Amino acid sequence: MLTRDDLLALDANKPAPPTRLHVAAWGGDVFLLDPTAQTYDEWSLFCEENKGTPAPWRAKVASLLLCDDTGKRLFSAADVPTIAGWRPDGLLEVWKVGIELLKVDDQEIEAQAEKSAASP
């Protein structure tokens, strides 16, 4: 049986270093966080809160994952409306890698949107 100390020491529980991504539309590189349980919870809460409404999915992923080279997030939930107003080209590049990091895909998000549209 794994103890508390065993679990805290597991490398498998430690986030990986940020992923470097070249965003052609922005003409440079960015870093994306390795999602933690907290990141997944924030994403799930965002999805739940936005059932039945158009939501800035790509802006939310960018706000969750864009970080500096040490893994410190660059944006918060308060920045999502601003990010949603950006031109889509760079966000689409971040989105493609971000949803892989979050282990979700377009079909899952589309299914969620359809389900929420059908809900009262």
Single-letter residue type at 119: S
pLDDT of 52-98, one tens digit each?
A: 888 899 999 999 999 999 999 999 999 999 999 999 999 999 999 99
pLDDT reported for residue 13: 85
pLDDT reported for residue 116: 47
CA–CA dist 30, 37 (Å, integer): 22
Asked whether the predicted pLDDT for residue 112 surpasses 90, the reply is no
Fold of 16-118: rbstp2171 (3.30.2220)
Which single residue is written with the structure tokens 């539309």?
25
The proportion of the chain whose per-residue pLDDT surpasses 90, expressed as a percent, equals: 71
How large is the average pLDDT for residues 96-108? 82
pLDDT reported for residue 101: 93
pLDDT reported for residue 119: 47
Q: What is the DSSP string of the chain?
A: ---HHHHHH-GGGSPPPPEEEEEGGGTEEEEE----HHHHHHHHHHHHHTTTS---HHHHHHHHHEE-TTS-BS--GGGHHHHHTS-HHHHHHHHHHHHHHHT--HHHHHHHHHHHHH--
pLDDT reported for residue 59: 95
pTM of the model: 0.82
Give the start-to-end residue ranges of the domains of the chain.
Answer: 16-118
How large is the average pLDDT for residues 34-53? 90
Asked whether the predicted pLDDT for residue 34 surpasses 60, the reply is yes
